[in-house]
Structure 1
């Protein structure tokens, strides 16, 4: 978990920066970032990370802690940087199937673990392979909201009696993620700047037959598990099985960025962001060295804000000092 797998791609490049190269570094709330780092650093079991975690719990000057024990590393892979946002949605549902609640949230069947990749989204939902096996966690009333729950990876389901359960990422079918927003653009339905989650949802609802086919365009399918033990005042569980924090946790590609690592985010666009965040989550659409998903929070307002984020910028991973220099070519060490 603690170290990235270095991709065998010749275009992947590593460069060590100085903290003075990080735009806005001095103005950030480093103590807030340190608190989030402490939430998951105990799960990093490699010696250098474990030592830093012990030091983190004793640190009284957060900025000094990061500057003393880490080095900013810029990792690029030839792809354009991209920041998006995600949130924890809340769906209307039921513990049993009814006339209104007829779209199941599934847990992962054992054969999906064993066979990679497994069936496509279309096959999972139309072949009957999931039926009669007790894999349903809950039933919801809107297949479009269920699709976007899978995109987000976690959420809450509110039952008619007011009870709320929480579901978290439980695995995926191993098929490639394909963006239905990009597919609408490819078809000429919308221009890139017009596409948002709300626009896609409304189009699918207005065009139920074509809308179902559009959802099938994405072969990737996410399964869930119930995680209702997480207190309501805490964020949903991320890939490290710990609660994530609004505006301090990001989802990354662990092939480049180790889970648990601090990451300096310089997001441009309409609402620029300069903040030290912690890589505590992953996502099927989050692929690349300069690709990150910012966790915004829970509920509709967070969802609207997350849906507007599609911005350039850069992310710089803070690596333990010896680990950072180990990535560099011998001549530069």
Structure 2
């Protein structure tokens, strides 16, 4: 019976049918992984291919057992859309770099790279028109670059330098520029937009970490970037998790709130990505998609949450 013993009282939540397609994407990645890793999922994945219309909730309850991970925090992320070109000029002056080879170039911090430390290495993938947009592209880890001829260059995470990540939001809180309870991506952007250029650039350099990218070919424009699991992310259904606790590919049941209107979110999501700041049992980062609305939701989302891990019976 749906909502039976062990299942959250509000199970199955919103549109359980919408979780089937991303679950099947997880199955593709699990099937291609190590045999010992794939074996526990094989029967459930095979059954998922034959779920009848309206049968998604019953499928997940039949094949999985919920394990409460407790109460925690869910943030949000998105796929930024930037303006750029494949050659510099015409306002496109901020380079985006491919991953340098192992060696001293990976030891450069943000300040050294922005001062030209990678010039002449042939690592530039594109140039964009806004250093703040480029910075937030690195925070999100992937993005879409709209080119002058109408093409869209999709970039995915390729690696990072050897320096630790320091949130610039923390720096703004410490100096009293933004109150802790008012902190959001939107608040940081507003501060950067009104600060003197030199001061804004200095703040960005307080985060010495630097992210490098790789071009992603052949992605469906209607899907998100490739997550850590190796499958395209689904807006509102893909969750970045602590992979040391939650196995990648697993379904979860998420209870949290919409950051824009406070309405409850109760839905099946899929562990398909990871993130440097995502650590702990009930810690997640919900992928919202791309575009202005996704950016708004992701930038404001810092909501209490409950998570239930669904593991194969």
Q: With structure 2 as the length reference, what TM-score do the two structures score?
A: 0.87
Q: C-alpha displacement at 1:274, in angstroms?
A: 0.7
Counterpart of 2:286 (choices 286, 294, 307) is 294
Q: C-alpha displacement at 1:99, in angstroms?
A: 5.1
1:110 maps to 2:101: yes
> Given that residues 18 and 72 in structure 1 are in contact (C-alpha distance below 8 angstroms), is that contact kept between their aligned partners in structure 2?
no
Counterpart of 1:284 (choices 271, 276, 291) is 276
1:177 maps to 2:165: yes
Note the alpha carbon deviations across 1:101-156, whole angstroms, 9 max, x for none: 111111111216x99x8443233333x44221111110001111111111111111
Task: Give the 5 Å matches for 1:251-270.
Answer: 251-268=240-257, 270=262
Distance 1:104 1:265 in 2: 38
Residue 153 of structure 1 aligns with which residue?
A: 141
1:58 maps to 2:50: yes
> Given that residues 37 and 278 in structure 1 are in contact (C-alpha distance below 8 angstroms), is that contact kept between their aligned partners in structure 2?
yes
Task: Give the 5 Å matches for 1:299-318.
Answer: 299-318=291-310
Which sits farther off after the overlay, 205-214 or 83-92?
Answer: 205-214
1:206 maps to 2:206: no
Q: C-alpha displacement at 1:194, in angstroms?
A: 2.0
**Unaligned segments of structure 1, at least 5 residues:** 1-16, 322-333
Distance 2:5 2:292 in 1: 36
Structure 1 residues 192 and 163: CA distance shift in structure 2, 3 A: same
Residue 97 of structure 1 aligns with which residue?
A: 88
Residue 75 of structure 1 aligns with which residue?
A: 69
Q: C-alpha displacement at 1:18, in angstroms?
A: 6.8
Structure 1 residues 197 and 68: CA distance shift in structure 2, 3 A: same
SS at match of 2:244: coil
Distance 2:229 2:90 in 1: 37
CA RMSD after TM alignment: 2.3
Structure 1 residues 308 and 159: CA distance shift in structure 2, 3 A: same
> Given that residues 75 and 256 in structure 1 are in contact (C-alpha distance below 8 angstroms), is that contact kept between their aligned partners in structure 2?
no
Residue 30 of structure 1 aligns with which residue?
A: 16
Distance 2:180 2:117 in 1: 36
Residue 225 of structure 1 aligns with which residue?
A: 214
> Given that residues 282 and 306 in structure 2 are in contact (C-alpha distance below 8 angstroms), is that contact kept between their aligned partners in structure 1?
yes
Structure 1 residues 18 and 105: CA distance shift in structure 2, 3 A: farther
1:143 maps to 2:164: no
**Unaligned segments of structure 2, at least 5 residues:** none
Structure 1 residues 52 and 167: CA distance shift in structure 2, 3 A: same
Residue 319 of structure 1 aligns with which residue?
A: 311
Distance 2:228 2:13 in 1: 29
Q: With structure 1 as the length reference, what TM-score do the two structures score?
A: 0.82
1:243 maps to 2:232: yes
1:194 maps to 2:182: yes
Q: C-alpha displacement at 1:233, in angstroms?
A: 2.0
Residue 166 of structure 1 aligns with which residue?
A: 154
Structure 1 residues 274 and 210: CA distance shift in structure 2, 3 A: same
Which sits farther off after the overlay, 290-299 or 268-277?
Answer: 268-277
